[in-house]
Amino acid sequence: MSTTFFKLISRGECKMPLFDCKVLNVPRISDPRGSLSFIEGGSHVPFDIKRVYYLYDVPGGSDRGSHAHRHLHQFIVAMSGSFDVILDDGESSNRFHLNRSYYGLYVCPMMWRYLDNFSSGAVCMVLASDYYDESDYIRDYSEFVSLSKGK
């Protein structure tokens, strides 16, 4: 991702379509003792990181998400196991399968997300650009579609 793109996102001047929500590699340092990855806000993800949360003990067949955020940027990493993230911008959708801890999915604001297909023992870590704020959520899909079309 270019520096210009990072700057536009951090200034909130970039309305991002679905194709800008993409899988980004993070640094990976491997030697015979194992591997180490790290993620720095504004460098490996296009936002400053204010919060980390994680999903775990997800029962087989469960799903998560089903909402969008008005302003929040997120980066989703499969720290263990695997799962799918479906992103929907109100017009089209794309399914991403995450199964490695050296890459993650950048999710821009105003993107409906749905997570399913969790493997046994999966751990989903989410880096977020802001603190938890229920008023940032859009939990009704038809309201999301209307808002995303500017209606």
The 3-state DSSP composition of the chain as helix, strand, coil percent (nearest 5) reads 15, 40, 45
Bridge pairing between strands 83-88 and 137-138: unpaired
Q: Which long-range contacts (CB under 8 A, 24 or more apart) does 42-45 make?
A: 42/6, 42/10, 45/73, 45/75, 45/104, 45/106, 45/127
CB of 142 to ligand TYD, least distance (A): 18
Q: Which of 44, 67, 69, 71 is catalytic?
A: 67
**Per-residue tokens: 111:** 């993107």
Asked if 127 contacts 45 with a C-beta cutoff of 8 angstroms, the reply is: yes
CB of 38 to ligand TYD, least distance (A): 22
Number of H-type helices and E-type strands within the chain: 2, 12
CB of 7 to ligand TYD, least distance (A): 27
Residues between 61 and 80 that touch ligand TYD (CB under 6 A): 64-65, 67
- C-alpha to C-alpha distances, 24 to 46, 87, 110, 140, nearest whole angstrom: 10, 15, 19, 29
Span from 24-32, 40-48, 60-68, 85-93 in contact with ligand TYD (CB under 6 A) = 60-68
Told to check if 132 binds ligand TYD by CB under 6 A, we report: yes
Told to check if 58 binds ligand TYD by CB under 6 A, we report: no
Among residues 5, 12, 25, 53, which is the contact residue for ligand TYD, using CB under 6 A? 53
Q: Which is nearer to ligand TYD, 49 or 55 (CB)?
A: 55
CB of 53 to ligand TYD, least distance (A): 5
Q: Does residue 73 carry a catalytic annotation? A: no
Told to check if 114 binds ligand TYD by CB under 6 A, we report: no
- Amino acid present at 107: V
Q: Which residues are near ligand TYD by CB under 6 A?
A: 51, 53, 55, 64-65, 67, 132
- Annotated active-site positions, please? 67
